[in-house]
Amino acid sequence: MNQQRKPISSKKVIASIVVVSALAGTGYEVNRLSADPVGEKDCPPLFAENAASDTSEINVEIAPLSAGDLLKWKQKGGTINDVSCLDHTFVYGIVKITSVDDIKNALQFARENKLKVSMAGVRHSMGGQAFYKNNLVLDMKGFNKIQLNEAEKTITVQSGATWHDIQSFLHPKHAVKAMQSTDIFSVGGSISVNAHGMDHLAGSVGSSIRSMRVMLADGSILNVNREENPELFSLVVGGYGLFGVILDVDLEIVNNDIYQTERQLVRYKEFPEIFESEILLTRTLVCSTGIFPRRRGRCSMR
């Protein structure tokens, strides 16, 4: 006796196709990521002195921009990578930034060509979050001017400057109040992740910011601090460049005092008493000097 087969529903067919396609795509990606290298790494060397000196620029006139405006193309098409060589990404192009107008023109070009934009300093932000496929990359390394305001105990720094640039500029009289643990990173990159340093008293980089200028996607520029546009301030600090381009920042500085370091080994049971009698006491003394601002009657050292 022949049994009549039930027809396969279209939903099951579509679901099967989706599952097979997903498995094939996953298999392709796994095979691509686990494959042996096919040539030399295309990311830059770790140390600048080993890099080939290429200061040439390609100036391309862009029709949508007003007459005479130029984008300083460092690269059209091709790829970009971070220093780990793990985030090889195809991009629309890389524009060299040396002025505020360069940023404004690049953002206008991106709007008119429906491109996403990312900012790159020394490219130490790893994990793939710094680049986007076929986007426009702003190379901020040449955007690095520094100006001292000794009376206010601040410096105004463009976002492409590195902490090494700042240290060299301030030495020997002044020093930064807070910075990332080493000086190879850019200021804009450190602010974008709100990096912390080794000084637990100073807190994260964001704690030393007096004010910033930020350019939004439409090319407008806003002053941003804890009183003026405070919501945007909290978004930009630690915002991974998603809310605007940091132009420059006013950072607090301190006297370049030299400290003598000491270490001691303690038993874990003795630590609470040492913390109470030594570490908290040091905090109280530092707060009494007025170095850190007071909020609600308490010394803020975040």
Q: Residue 1: its pLDDT value, please?
A: 54
Residues 127 and 192 in one domain: no
Residues 275 and 249 in one domain: no
Per residue, the 3-state secondary structure of the chain, as one string, reads CCCCCCCCCHHHHHHHHHHHHHHHHHHHHHHHHHCCCCCCCCCCCCCHHHCCCCCCCEEEECCCCCCCCEEEEEEECCEECCCCCCCCEECCEEEECCCHHHHHHHHHHHHHCCCCEEEECCCCCCCCCCCCCCCEEEECCCCCCEEEECCCCEEEEECCCEHHHHHHHHCCCEEECCCCCCCCCEHHHHHHHCCECCCCCCCEHHHHEEEEEEECCCCCEEEECCCCCHHHHHHHCCCCCCCCEEEEEEEEEEECCCCCCCCCCCCHHHHHHHHHHHHHHHHHHHHHCCCCCEECCEECCC
CATH number, domain with residue 113: 3.30.43.10
List the domain range (segments joined by +) for residue 67: 48-139
The CA distances from residue 82 to 43, 100, 191, in Å, are: 6, 24, 18
Amino acid, single-letter form, for residue 112:
E
Residues 134 and 182 in one domain: no
Q: Judge whether 29 lies within some domain.
A: no
Residues 88 and 128 in one domain: yes
Q: Which of 116, 139, 162 is the last residue of a domain?
A: 139
State the total domains in the chain.
3
Query: Which residues lie below 8 Å from residue 259, measured CB to CB, with a gap of 6+?
Result: none
Strands (E), 7-69: 58-61
Asked whether the bond before 172 is cis by omega within 30 degrees of 0, the reply is: yes
Tokens of 136: 């426009």
Residues 129 and 159 in one domain: no
Residues 92 and 170 in one domain: no
Residues 53 and 134 in one domain: yes
Residues 245 and 183 in one domain: yes
Q: Are 137 and 241 in contact (CB under 8 A)?
A: no
Cα 165-234-91 angle, rounded to 5 deg = 60
Q: Judge whether 31 lies within some domain.
A: no
Q: Which of 90, 105, 139 is the last residue of a domain?
A: 139
Q: Residue 64: its pLDDT value, please?
A: 46
Q: What is the pLDDT along the chain (302 residues), one digit of tens a residue?
A: 555 556 666 666 676 776 667 776 677 666 766 666 666 666 655 444 444 444 455 554 544 444 235 799 999 999 998 888 888 899 999 999 999 999 999 999 999 999 999 999 988 887 777 889 999 999 999 999 999 999 999 999 999 999 999 999 999 999 998 888 889 999 999 999 999 887 777 889 999 999 999 999 999 999 999 999 999 999 999 999 999 999 999 999 999 888 788 888 989 999 999 888 887 776 665 565 554 444 444 454 44
User: How far is the C-alpha of 217 from the C-alpha of 214, rounded, in Å?
Assistant: 10
Q: Residue 262: its pLDDT value, please?
A: 82
Residues 245 and 152 in one domain: yes
CATH number, domain with residue 176: 3.30.465.10
Residues 157 and 244 in one domain: yes
Q: Judge whether 246 lies within some domain.
A: yes
Q: Judge whether 25 lies within some domain.
A: no
Residues 154 and 240 in one domain: yes
Residues 151 and 248 in one domain: yes
Q: Judge whether 38 lies within some domain.
A: no
User: How far is the C-alpha of 36 from the C-alpha of 34, rounded, in Å?
Assistant: 7
Report how far Cα 22 is from the mean position of its chain's Cα atoms.
33
Q: Judge whether 183 lies within some domain.
A: yes
Neighbours of 277 (CB within 10 A): 9
